[in-house]
Chains A and B, each alone.
Chain A
Amino acid sequence: MKAKFLSYEEPLIFEISEEGKCAINLPDFDVPEEDIGKDLKRDDIPDFPEVSETEIVRHFTRLSQLNYCVDKGFYPLGSCTMKYNPKINEKIANLEGFTEIHPLYPEKFVQGSLEIIYTLEKLLCEITGMDSFTTAPLAGAHGELTGMLIIRAYHMSKGEGRKKVLIPDSAHGTNPSSAHLSGWIVEEIPSNQYGTVDIEKLKERVDETVSALMLTNPNTLGIFERDIKQIAEILHSKGALLYMDGANLNALIGIAKVGDMGVDVVHTNLHKTFSTPHGGGGPGSGPVGVKKFLEPFLPVPRVEKKDGKYFLNWEKPNSIGRIGGFYGNFLVLVKALAYIISLGYEGLRETAKRAVLNANYIRKKLEALYHVPYKSPTLHEFVCSDKNFQQFNVTTLDVAKRLIDYGLHPPTIYFPLIVHGALMIEPTETEGKRDLDLFVSAMEEIYREAKENPEVLKNAPHITPVGRLDEVLAAKKLVLRWKRK
């Protein structure tokens, strides 16, 4: 085994497995040992590992050390809001009173859990200015699907078989995908030279066949869609609705309420704005807020309160139905509620301010070397193109990979699609000036390297446990599980 800076080349667990080992002693049989019979019983579990507890702990500890994470440093993934995840929220979510509760216990035994859901839904209403929230959606895209199904059910209830959903070309890929999954045809709306929705084009396209527009605000360029109210009016005049993707809500909390902007449905990501950890790809949570007239369509069950007692209400004849197994990613809800309560109004407002300040500071510092194609003011994030790097024959991917050598996580790259070679930078509020300056100087240095020594970028990263990986090979020659040689 080779080790470099105490980071190990860790084999797959299957490669260190030896027959007869076990990492836990299970209780003995205190009832007669029963045999289910050979027709039903499996003979063996092929290639299942057998290791000791020491080996398990070292295996996962070493694997963990191959990861970069927010706890380690700056993570400016645009539109992902990789803010610091407060530890007290973890401690709270680990309380036995939350973890040891079966979802099908009678309501009288789970008043605490129901209170959490009820309170969080109410607070999200206050923060966004919507009338009603459901915390059942299990991630952002699941929230989008829920929201679009609500809009579908609304139009159906009016006997209208509208066909289309309009989506700006700057939107995240989940938007068209969620719209499609809800049964709509998707049509793209171009952005104008300011990076916002082209109102004239929108007017031409909105008619009685349009069910909704899915708008991200601030959009994926970090630009606030100033005309949002007018957009809502254009849609409403033809009976269509405005869906807002609230992935970027971190720029607005405590500053403005989307409910005041003509938005009919919004989803928010608790694993972005409300600080719950992303876990390397989930669990997330994507609560959906609606205006009063859409409340009957929210998924069941609803958590309601009567005579001081919380209960689950299933009697919602117009509901879109159930969208998942139980009541959402409950422990994620606990963490988000703890976050909101710990900060309060001033804290949340300050959060948005600092997030926007940090992004604008970086933008200001980098603009000379990194081309920012849309000049409009930006909020919590901004997007550069690869324009200034083309002359050196260096790509956005090269820049991103080189950043790793500076000990930093790269920004989101090649998104949004409307910016060539996009680098989408979102620092969040939980980074200090010192970290921002480190990032800025790394980016400046990389520009200089691109000019003088582009090879060092092309071969980056140099300091990681593995070098740049062959993704084409991975997709061509599929190896998706370990197999005994």
Chain B
Amino acid sequence: MPRAIGIDLGTTNSLVAHVDERNRPAVLPADEGRPLLPSVVWYGPAGELEVGAAARRKAPERPVDTVLSVKRFMGRGPGDVRPEDRGIYQFDESGAVVKLRVGGGARAVTPIEVSAEILRVLKRRAGEALGDVPGGCVITVPAYFDDSQRQATKDAGRLAGLDVLRLLNEPTAAALAYGLDKQVQGTFAVYDLGGGTFDVSILRLDQGVFEVLSTGGDTHLGGDDFDRVLARRLIDRGLTPRAAAPSPAVLRGAVAAAQRIRETLSAEPAVEASVELPEAYRLDVRLTRAELEELILPVVERTTEPCRAALRDAGVARVDGVVLVGGATRTPLVRRHVRALFGLEPLTDLDPDTVVALGAAVQADALDRGGREDVLLLDVIPLSLGVEMMGGVVEKIVLRNSTIPASATQQFTTYADGQTGMVIHVVQGERELARDCRSLARFTLKGIPPMPAGIARVEIAYAVDADGILQVSARELTTGIEQRIQVKPTYGLTEDEVEKMLVESIEHAEEDVSERFLREWRVEGDRILSSLETAFQVDGDLLSPAELGQVEERMAGLRTAMAGTDYLAVKAWIESVDAATKVFAERRMDKHIRKAMAGHRVDEFADHPPATGSRDDEHEPGA
């Protein structure tokens, strides 16, 4: 039977874990027999591909074609790649999504595709270790990831052919691994300093309930920053021959040397070394731990305010324990800093590199078995979700630290006489002005009947699912005209793009692509059949017996196709049912508008309560 797996898709390293026969989470070998797969992908000029340690070995010779720390680009648009992250890469700035030019400039790949390559390797290695294709999986994300970063991660999972059961926040995963292992109770902080992201979460653990009270962090803060400041210092002081603007290969070599030196200084008081770099450069290093600490102190101090804010938001003054997660927390300075900040000796019993993957495996196993009676995770949304108002001000609709899934609605009105459309700009963040927040999506609600300004009532409903991903719908209340819009992230891929990438992916053509399409279209068919059955109970009289007969015939056809294995047949029957029910949908709309005019309340016959929604509900057939 396929086994569920948990994946920690990290900035520097990625891991895969499962729950073994003795019901214990364990990491699986992912790269050359080791559990850590470096999150590095190399694209060769002739279309070759290497992932992990092998790709990292290619880095000195082909730095531009070797993608490291791709997580920093997930869900980002070309405009919001930070200068310090641009590094040596060549960007393709033409589209809405960041693309990297690799393979000697021959290919442009999105961060989603690069991440999918890493996930594919993890999936394959897990399959080899377990002797079976993995079943469902849980992928972890930084708690502070916004909607587009989460969506991008989910798309990468899909692209890698994984059945993603849930995205799980990294600190929550760590708490799960710790809590179950140590049977702890009380209020805990999880301090997670990884390669590229910093997260802090405050959780309450009580009788198997892991309730996240608050979360904070910085998606651009991590061990990579230590290496970058150290590499700069090493180049300034010890590069021979001297070079004002070293080449990408030399820079990359210096950063790799910085990482090794930093790790050595976690155990040793001083380092003296001479490192050969590409292009006949050499780096002479003499550094003490104290000197290193002075360099990285400003980076470590950037974690202070997010921790204080998280404690404030949680409404607690102190915690019963602090869990350390992420390789960068091995740095002695970081440990001292945490001790001073929380007034406690941090817990380090579990390996900070593997604890997140272990927690993900526990959750994947639980989800796969329909949940566990004894464990419940209650997570929160990290950043408020809002809408842009007139004047560029943000009205927050779902506040940060709300337990997910969550929903909220807000009413708006028109500002001009006869206004028939309304632009809805969905943003995420805590700042007052929309331009300072993250833009998630922009769409227009059309078909508002012309009325004097201020009369129309437009209700915007936000629904955040258990993965922390948002759906938005808007409707005009006086007439009941409703548009349920699948909000596509501004910097994400469209459904078509994902589908196209899937088809293009050779591994998929051989593997299970049709199997997965079949499953997805069956879900869609299910949804349509059940909503039609409900509609017939209420409004069946709107169709003549002949019309009803025709629709029912096609519904029967769809059911037969869904029982078969050809996804194209299911898709075709869905289209045929859609076509046959168009008239029915129009008549229902007419009836409801008439009813609304007759003074009834619109929500008496709304199909769904306005304050709830789900991704399944929103899914539109892809073609």
Are chains A and B native binding partners rather than an unrelated pairing?
no
